Amino acid sequence: MIPTLLLERELLREYPLVIACDEVGRGALAGPVSVGATVVDAVMLDACADAIPEGLKDSKLVTERKRPELAERAAAWVSRSAVGAASAAEIDAHGIIAALGMAAARALDELAAAGVDVGAAIVILDGSHDYIARQWPGRITVRPVVKADRDCASAAAASIIAKVARDAHMLELHEALPHYAWDRNKGYGSAAHRDAIRGHGVSEHHRRTWVATEAYQPAALFASP
């Protein structure tokens, strides 16, 4: 399915800005959870008409090889974009929902610092649960939309931008800890990643509560090499 701008155009009849947010890394065993945010307005949509970047779709449906170039085009297409993140330690300390809210708030803070009037916008949030409102200081209107990253072009753009940013971060972490093969699994629970945890233990970048939950033998994962 090709995403459209139908919802964005509808919302821009009531709001001066639409911000779309989507998360990546929620199910990983290591690394941060990241939230991408993109901004569209009537001027931008009128200027580009319906020229949605070719190939734009939910990041999970785009091959790793094609993502960086597509993310670059998506970032150039929207009015503004940002990515916020919450660390593995924050996920363990506060829970995944609160961490998602922190990551989203950081992305919105970045937009606000760039001059975006976040408080005047309506936020399209991929999913069914609003994890943003409590974390953002002040009033903000959030509209959760199931499968927004599939149906809404602005959310698809947020998804691909966030995915590429998080993948790049995992590649940086891989340089210091190559035995976890984060260059290939990006922190997700592949068989090789779980084997590496069993052999080397967990790192500071692992979500310790998640590793224990996901593994078949939690005690073995925390044993010394």
The predicted-structure confidence for 61-89, as pLDDT tens digits, reads as follows 788 888 999 999 999 999 999 999 999 99
Calculate ∠ Cα 157-158-163, nearest 5°. Answer: 100
Q: Is the pLDDT of residue 97 over 80?
A: yes
Domain with CATH 3.30.420.10 in the chain: 6-169
Q: CA–CA separation, 166 vs 27, rounded Å?
A: 13
- CA separation for the pair 138, 141 (Å, rounded): 10
Fold of domain 6-169: Nucleotidyltransferase; domain 5 (3.30.420)
Which tens digits make up the pLDDT trace of 39-57? 999 888 777 655 888 888 7
Distance between CA atoms of residues 170 and 63, nearest Å: 17
- Mean pLDDT for the chain? 89
Give yes or no for a contact between 203 and 183, defined as CB atoms under 8 angstroms apart. Answer: no
